[in-house]
Structure formats: structure tokens, C-alpha cells
Amino acid sequence: MERNDKIKLVTERLEAFYGDFSFENRSTSSLNDPFWSIVETILSQNTTFKNSHQAFTNLVSKYHTIDELLEADVHEIEILIRNAGLFKSKSHRIVHLADIIKNKCNGNASQLLIGSYAEARKRLMKIEGIGPKTADVVLLFSRHYDIVPVDTHIFRVSKRIGLVPQNGNYEIVKNTLENGIPRGKRGYAHMAFIKFGREVCHARSPDHAACPLTDICDYFQATK
């Protein structure tokens, strides 16, 4: 089976498996304001959804605006986001982001996202702590670009099944998936792959009995 055909088939199978579902990863705050979307994504780096979600909930329960964050005691921010891990560097990045938006964007985080996808991505990635995945997640949920941000679950699932090169880096995996996933389905695929990675294709013990992809999965076929 050609690579693009296999990617399309996996996308169709996951859509049939999950149907429409509400993706719990994005809070109301981050969906409504690009600043909080970036903050939430920074907190999600190198930790679980449960931990980052708790840290974000703690943060927005106390601070509601950029100005409040800039006036806050950084140690208080660290305490609030401790669940997310790397809390010292993440608190620094959040305050730094708030400062940039306050002083260079007239307090409007949307200015970071104007222009084309490439322009907005490049602008975001100039900010400390924002790499390609963080930028892409923000642009998917805040600007609804038809892209596939690649997280650790998507790396694992796509390589196990045999959808992407085994040694592919972020850009290679992202571009390969986007070439095979039909337009208009990439945001859904991003969410479905993550959900599948959490619930079925676990890192240590994949649940083969619940998997709808075993007949086309390279990993499963190799372990039979």
C-alpha cells in the first residue's frame, strides 16, 4: 500500500472508531484568547495532559489578564504551575511571553498570529520556549490552520503503524502526515491520533485487542 493511501486509511478508520468527539485538551480560556492558548501549550511541554491541565487551571483561577501576570510574584506562579514540571523555566517563559505581548504587541496576542501560516509560525518561534510543535498547536486551535502538530503520541503511533519514516524528525513526520491526510481532516486527525495514543496505542503495552488497525500496523504484524 502506498504511504499516502495508508495514512488516509488510518485517518478514516480512526474517524469511524471515534466519530465526533469533544477534545478536552483545550480550555475555554485558551480557545478564546491566543495568549492563554500559548500559555496552556507551554505548560503541556514534557508532561502529561492531567498535570498540565491542573497547572493551567490553577494559574487561570488566580490570574486573568496579562497585567496581573506581569505584576505577580514569580514564585507564586511557580507554585501554581508546579504540577506541570519544569515550573521554573515555564514560569519564566510565561512572564516573558506576557512582557512581549504587553510591550511589543500593544497587549494584543492576536498580533503574533497575523499573516500567513509561515509568517505567524516564524514569529512565534522567535519567542523563548516556543518550538515548532508549540507554534503549530497554537496556530491549529487559534487560527484553525489545516495542519497536523506532532506530539509524542503522534510520533509513536505514526511510526509504529508505519506511516512515516522511522528516523523522521518533527518536520518530516508532520509533512508526511499532512501529505496523506485529506484537507479539512488534519485538525481532527491530530486530535484522534493523540486520543488513540492515550487510550489504545500505549507506549509500553498497546491494547491490540481494542485496536482497529492491527491488520495494517507494521508493529503488530512484526510481533505476531
Along the chain (224 residues), what's the average pLDDT of each consecutive run of 10 residues? 96 95 57 84 89 93 93 95 95 95 93 96 94 94 94 96 97 98 95 95 95 97 87
Per-residue confidence (pLDDT) for residue 51, from 0 to 100 = 93
pTM recorded for the entire structure? 0.89
Q: Count structural domains, the chain.
A: 2
Domain CATH for 18: 1.10.1670.10
Q: What is the pLDDT of residue 48?
A: 86
| Chain centroid offset of residue 181 CA | 17
Helix H segments across the chain? 3-18, 28-32, 34-43, 49-62, 66-71, 74-80, 87-104, 117-125, 132-143, 152-161, 170-180, 186-199, 218-223
Range of the domain at 83: 33-143
Do 138 and 45 lie in one domain? The reply is yes
Domain boundary among 85, 115, 143: 143
Report the alpha-carbon distance of residue 110 to residue 204 in Å, rounded: 40
- Please tell me the predicted confidence (pLDDT) of residue 208: 96
pLDDT at 132: 95
The Cα–Cα gap between 19 and 65 comes to 36
62 and 40: one domain? yes
Of the candidates 102, 111, 104, 191, the residue with the CA atom closest to the CA atom of residue 150: 191
Q: Are 66 and 167 found together in one domain?
A: no
pLDDT at site 27: 55
What is the pLDDT, as a whole number, of residue 21?
A: 75
Q: Is residue 112 part of a domain?
A: yes
